[in-house]
Amino acid sequence: MVACVPSVGDGGIGPLRGGEGSLLGKGSRSLPRAPPSPVPPSPPRRDRAGRTPLHLAVLRGHVPLVRLLLQRGARAVAADRAGRTPLHEAAWHGPSRAAELLLQRGASANVRCGAGLTPLHWAAALGRTLLARRLLDAPGPGPAAADAHGWMATHWAAAGGRLPVLELLAAGGGAGLDGALLVAAAAGQSAALRLLLTHGARVDARDGTGATALGVAADLGRRQDMEVLLEHGADSSLKDRHGRSALHRAAAGGHLLAVQLLAAWGADVDARDTLGLTPLHHAARGGHMEVAGHLLARGAKVDAAGWLHVTPLNLAVERGHGSTAELLLSWGASPTQRTQWGEVAQDLGPAVSTACRGEQEVPHGPQACRARAGPEAASSHGLQGVQAPLCWSEAACQGARENTPEVPGEEGSSGWSPSKKRVADLELFQTPRATSAL
């Protein structure tokens, strides 16, 4: 029998120590005595987008799993990397029952994602009327909440033509109706326009550029929307901060039906913007011959002088719109009227050659202009693309060139010329398209 007595000199228990005669055998070591450390709780698992299992259950529309996760302590306010909560996902993809469970567990209806959108914005954009009604009942700013771009729920509903949601929002306080009207005009939502006007939206409300809903619709050529606005009392004479009326915008875009409608409602065909340009200037600059013809038939001044004494013919020739130049000439436009730079129409286009010698009466009107155009007309007058002869004498053309004042630094030294200078100046003036509704 082995005696279990402490070994002298090492302070250990002999039989339990390693070495000869021990119970553990030769070369063995003593067992560890440290207590096991507690295991820390694992953080909630998320995917690469930062979504929790609750996010994914809502996305799948799995209501029993959503209920189970909430009972097990899942956070209803957890946000992914884009700032979206499970309630955002419920408003966008999930069923309304899942949203109801989230709201009961403390989810906030006013939480915003990275783009500043609330669940109500998403519900309004998708036309989810029942969910929108439930979100409106939740405490908070409700429909008055704006996203990062200033859009409210009414803007989103108007943009998508979500009439039931839009009517619900309009009846619940009418926040942002004026801006929603401008959005509806830009989106071409005629039914939304009527609904908003019925609920008190101002027909002549303006956006950040000073444009009205009528101006926005005219800029896009939406005749049906323009009719709705005009029937509700829209003022066609109102101008934006650049002095452009709805007729300016329609003419610049070449929208003939919109121009005809505005002219029939009494819009001023010779209205001036801040550069002194009329709708005919804009039509000529864009080469919109039919629009220009209708404006002329309505009494627009063919030689109206705008900024730098520029006429519609100057702009048509400078831009190379031969057919439009032909039309203007047939209505009596003067090819020798000088701009502030001393230029005449023939100096703005390619070289002008002889046309008609002596005095010759020029018939007016587009039909007379087309009747006298021949196959050799383009080479006889020197304006590229113009199909009718310009009836001025060679002596007058030569005198106009000789009397043009010299400008220091003209083409040949620095590449500058009066026409190029004015083209560069005109590029600063851009006709806007649909503008922000805020």
Closest CA to 345 of 319, 363, 371: 319
**Rounded to whole angstroms, how far apart are CA atoms 109 and 262?**
45
Rg for the chain (alpha carbons), in Å? 39
Please report, as a single letter, which amino acid is at residue 7. S
* pLDDT given for residue 349 in this prediction: 53
Residue 273 to residues 63, 237, 279, 291, 435, Cα–Cα distance (Å): 60, 11, 9, 18, 18
Residues in contact with 367: Cβ distance below 8 Å, sequence separation at least 6, in sequence order: none
DSSP 387: -
**Rounded to whole angstroms, how far apart are CA atoms 140 and 136?**
9
**Rounded to whole angstroms, how far apart are CA atoms 9 and 134?**
83
* pLDDT given for residue 344 in this prediction: 72
CA dihedral defined by 269, 273, 279, 280, rounded to 10 degrees?
Answer: 100
One digit per residue, the tens of pLDDT, for the chain of length 438 reads: 444 444 444 444 344 344 444 434 444 455 556 555 554 554 458 888 899 999 999 999 999 999 999 999 999 999 999 999 999 999 987 788 999 999 999 898 889 998 999 999 999 999 999 999 999 988 877 888 999 999 999 999 999 999 999 999 998 777 899 999 999 999 999 999 999 999 999 999 999 999 999 999 999 999 999 999 999 999 999 999 999 999 999 999 999 999 999 999 999 999 999 999 999 999 999 999 999 999 999 999 999 998 888 999 999 998 999 999 999 999 999 988 887 776 776 555 553 322 222 333 334 444 443 333 333 333 333 333 333 232 223 333 333 334 333 333 333 333 323 333 333 333 333 333 333 444
* End-to-end C-alpha distance for the chain, whole angstroms: 99
- What the block records as the tokens of 121 is 């914005």
Residue 247 to residues 95, 371, 426, Cα–Cα distance (Å): 47, 30, 20
* pLDDT given for residue 35 in this prediction: 59
The answer to whether 189 and 434 are in contact (CB under 8 A) is no
* pLDDT given for residue 351 in this prediction: 31
